[in-house]
Amino acid sequence: MKPATTKASRSGKRTHTLKEILERQEAADEELKKDGSGQLNKLPSLLDIAEDYPFTNKITNEGSSTVQLGSNTSNNSNESGANLTEAMNNFHQLISQEISSAAALVEIDQAQLKAWIDLQVEVPAKTILHLLRAMKNLHLDPLNEEVGFTQYEDGSWQIFITVEGCSKILNQHPQFNGLVFNQSDTLIEGIPEWIECSIFRRDRIMPITVREYLIEVRNNKEIWKKMPRRMLRHRALQQCVRLAFS
C-alpha cells in the first residue's frame, strides 16, 4: 500500500500544476490573436457548451443562439435566446458557488482552483459541476492530481479518480480494513490475463472484490507499454474503491 501523501509532496505537485496552468494560459493568450491584426477571438466559455442545453443547436461568439423548434423556429428565436442566456448565467453562478465551497472544504486556494477550472475549456459544464461536487463529497484535490477528467473514444467526458485519490480515500476512511490483490496464472504476452482487488471494510462481513481483464482495459498509451502490470493493477484498485466507498 502506498503511504499517504505528505504535505511536502502535495505542495510540489500543486506548484507543478500551477506552473502548467500559467504556461497553458500564455499559450492560450497567443492563440487569441488573429494573424497579427490585433483582433481577439473569445476563448470558449460556458456559453459555448451547447450540449448542456438541448433546446439549442448553435451558440455564436456573440452569445446569441440559433435554435430549431419545429416550424416555429423564427418566431421563438428571441425568446429562446433570452432563456438560454438566463440559463447559462444561472449555471455559471452555480459553478462559481461550487468552486467557492469546494475550495473551502478541501482547503485549497479558491483562485487557484478557479484558474484550473477555467482552463478546462473542452469539458462540458455539467461534468465540471460533477467534479466540484465529487471534490466536496470525497475531499479530493484536483491540483494535487487526486481527481480530474477523462474523455472516452465516443467523445463523452467523465470525472476520473487517480490512484493518488484512491489512496487518499482508503487511508482517510474509518471503515477501511485492508486490501488484497490477486492475479491470473494465465498470461497474455507475459502479462496476467486479469488482476483483481479485494477491499475489506470493518462494517462488512465479505470483502468487495473487483476483477479487471487486460483485454478490456489495455490501450495504446505509452504508460501501458512500459508498465502494463501496474496499470492493470491500478484499474482494479480504482474500480474496487469506486464500489466500496462511493
pLDDT in tens, 140-159: 999 989 998 888 878 888 88
What are the structural domain ranges in the chain?
7-145, 173-245
- The three cell numbers of residue 81 are 435566446
* Distance in angstroms (rounded) separating the CA atoms of residues 142 and 140: 7
pLDDT in tens, 156-196: 888 889 999 999 999 999 999 999 999 999 999 999 999 99
The whole-model pTM stands at 0.62
pLDDT in tens, 43-81: 444 334 344 433 333 333 444 333 343 445 555 666 666
Of 236, 70, 79, 244, the closest CA to residue 169 belongs to 244
Q: pLDDT: is 246 or 25 the higher one?
A: 246
Sign of CA dihedral 53, 42, 141, 164: positive
Residue-level pLDDT at 54: 39
- The three cell numbers of residue 210 are 473487483
Q: Do the Cβ atoms of 67 and 80 come closer than 8 Å?
A: yes
Q: Do the Cβ atoms of 168 and 146 come closer than 8 Å?
A: yes
